[in-house]
Structure 1
């Protein structure tokens, strides 16, 4: 398989590039390095030191037969994306090249507009590049379970549902209702609708992945520091488990939003990469739109906090406290949450990491970087508010 990874410098993009290359696939990495710039903008850095993309790819190429390539490019500008797809005729294009932080999108008008433009334009340019130069290419787009919000109905593993509208006796096929929780999450909803429309118009082959929050410091292919993927832990870019683990290493109180009743579907970095590889190696049929809910375990924030505290006591010898703050987001503090997932299991997916087993490994990985984390302690507490 020949795969183009858009956003290959990212938390998921780099380990996916590693995994595919080490499985013998040809990999072309594209990134404009925007995440590095945006993380620096808010005064933070990666909690696991990372090399430049050039050095990363050079380290990778010492280990694989088919050499990976890196192209620095912004897919929202110019013709680079179209030119590469036309020339390479890839089997798959993986779309991670989006601004991925909800808090970053909510900082102010400038950041909201950047997020909307970057994410929506990039997706549209990808759709047209594939449609016009390589229509047989499989597009795998990374969405988010956050597109749905926290509805009172079971979240289906489907883009459509049958529903009765305004008391009618008959059922109508409608798009699965969604209510996103940030400008970033709304761009993902727009992506899904644009991909569905492209599929209906031109028969584009698409896998749309609705993924829950990802946690973890490494995958099995990350065997040296030169192959590290980034690890964000600050109040703008970090996800909840990763933030809790960084706070634990520093001996800080774990910062909880409200009472901690918010429930989400979580997946380890290793399981995320395993699932993505599986979806690429077992693509949908030609012209098919495949919707996949990608998460493994459901946890409330309070349950995550307890798991991190238990692991910190065992691994670090630290008894941690909690700092409860007002939730800076606009979200329900207690809610129904029951998303469905069947497709990955039907394809043969096997769980590699449970959260309770992964957290101790994360703490062990982060402990040697305690001094680095400490230098950026000031940006750990959230500063962006939705209202």
Structure 2
């Protein structure tokens, strides 16, 4: 298959590109390197040294025998992204080309507006380019389980739900309640893709993914193939952040009561799930929702897991909850459905959480000196009510 990955320089984007070429697919990668700049903006960097795109592409060709075709461009430029889609007419487009940090979107008005502008405009450009130049392309949009918030109902794996309002029944879109400007931008993406599906028949898979953790997939076999790993208070996801805190001898810092419950999956399981969804598209003209996760934990449970594994490695770790910078429920019901991925063979985690945390800590131990200078960026500085 011919697959275009928008945002291929990112954490999941690069790992997915490797998985696809290792399995014989042709990959066209697009990125404008904004995440590298934005992470530097908050005084941080990737925990693992991140090679240049040129270095990684050369190494990938050496290891896997296929070259990723790369284009440095911003998908907000409709002329450029539409020309690229017209040229390649890919079987699938995977859209990771979005500002992906909730805290970054909450810094101030400028960052909130950038998040909305970048994410929504980019999505609409891709939708119009597919409609005009490659109508058979399957759009795979990376959304987030955070679009739903923490509802008291089971989160369905569908776009619509029957409901009754004042005694009248109707079919409505599943209610969403994002927890940041970033999450609301993803809700708007979902609505825009639903609308494009309705009026143009665009084939789409809308992935509601939980937080991802891990340093490696089976294709990341050496340092030249590293993907990024963010850990700071703005860009880092919770398990990756805990692991860096442990390596630096800092307390693991759940926010508030630590009862926030989320659906997680490893980087390995994320890219394998994406690969199978790409290789098994929905019917032409169908809009498919996928809740993409393999495990459900509270953030306090995760802290205890990281603490236990760190101590097996001789790392003394303590847990010290801190004031929650976010506005969110710290204890709540959480039960998303999961039907699509099991039918594609993703039944359980490929490795247990303790095994994966052990691998992360083992990788990070080699870069402790690199991480020392970033101690100050681990604590949250962005607060939702400030």
In structure 1, the partner of 2:229 is 231
Tell me the equivalent position of 2:21.
Answer: 21
Q: Deviations over 1:287-337 (max 9, x none)?
A: 11010000111100110010000000002x123122221100000111011
Q: Distance in 2 between matches of 1:261 and 1:43?
A: 29
Aligned to 2:321: 324
Secondary structure at the aligned position of 1:322 is classed as coil
Q: Check the 8 A contact 2:213/2:265 in 1, yes or no.
A: yes
Which has the larger displacement, 112-121 or 156-165?
A: 156-165
User: Hey, what's the Cα distance between the residues in 2 that align with 1:355 and 1:195?
Assistant: 34
Residues in 1 aligned to 2:179 and 2:257: alpha-carbon distance in whole angstroms: 19
- 2:180 aligns with 182
Question: Match of 2:211?
Answer: 213
Counterpart for residue 97 of structure 1: 97
Inter-partner Cα distance in structure 1 for 2:51 and 2:323: 37
Q: Are 1:158 and 2:158 an aligned pair? A: yes
Larger CA deviation: 69-78 vs 271-280: 69-78
Given the alignment, which residue of 169, 172, 177 partners 2:170?
A: 172
Aligned to 1:79: 79
> C-alpha distance in 2, partners of 1:356/1:173?
42
Aligned counterpart, 2:346:
349
Instruction: State the alpha-carbon separation in 1 of the partners of residues 217 and 165 from structure 2.
Output: 46
Would you identify which runs of 4 or more consecutive aligned residues in structure 1 move more than 3 Å? Answer: none
293, 296, 314: which one pairs with 1:295?
A: 293
TM-score by length of 1: 0.98
Q: 1:335: which partner in 2?
A: 332
C-alpha deviation, 1:371, in angstroms = 0.7
User: How far 1:28 moved relative to its partner?
Assistant: 0.6
State the Cα distance separating 1:256 from its structure 2 match: 1.6
Structure 1 CA distance for aligned equivalents of residues 66 and 281 of structure 2: 21
C-alpha separation between the residues in 2 aligned to 1:242 and 1:57? 25
Which residue does 2:133 correspond to in 1? 133
Kindly indicate whether the alpha-carbon contact (under 8 Å) linking 1:141 and 1:209 is maintained by their aligned counterparts in 2.
yes
**1:262 corresponds to which residue?**
260
Distance 1:365 1:285 in 2: 41
Give 3-state SS (helix, strand or coil) of 2:246's partner. Answer: helix
Contact residue 120 and residue 191 of structure 1 kept, 8 A: yes
Deviation at 1:78, TM superposition (A): 4.6
Q: Deviations over 1:103-145 (max 9, x none)?
A: 0000000000000000000000000000000000000000000
The answer on whether the counterparts of 1:268 and 1:354 sit within 8 Å (CA) in structure 2 is no
How far apart are the structure 2 equivalents of 1:66 and 1:226? Answer: 16
* Partner SS state of residue 118, structure 1: helix
What SS is found at the alignment partner of 1:266? strand
Structure 1 gap segments, 5+ residues each: none
- Counterpart of 1:307 (choices 291, 305, 308) is 305
Q: Does 1:245 align with 2:243?
A: yes
**What do residues 232-286 of structure 1 show as CA deviations (whole Å, max 9, x unaligned)?**
0100000000000000111110112111010000000000000000000111111
Q: State the SS of the aligned residue for 1:164.
A: strand
Residue 279 of structure 1: SS of its match in structure 2? helix
Name the SS for the 1:254 alignment partner: coil
C-alpha contact (below 8 Å) 2:78/2:125 kept by paired residues: no
Q: Distance between the aligned counterparts of 2:41 and 2:121, measured in 1? A: 23
Tell me the distance in 1 between the aligned counterparts of 2:222 and 2:169: 55
Residue pair 2:101, 2:235 contacting (<8 A) in 1 also: yes
- Alpha-carbon distance in structure 2 between the residues aligned to 1:276 and 1:220: 15
More off after superposition, 127-136 vs 371-380? 371-380
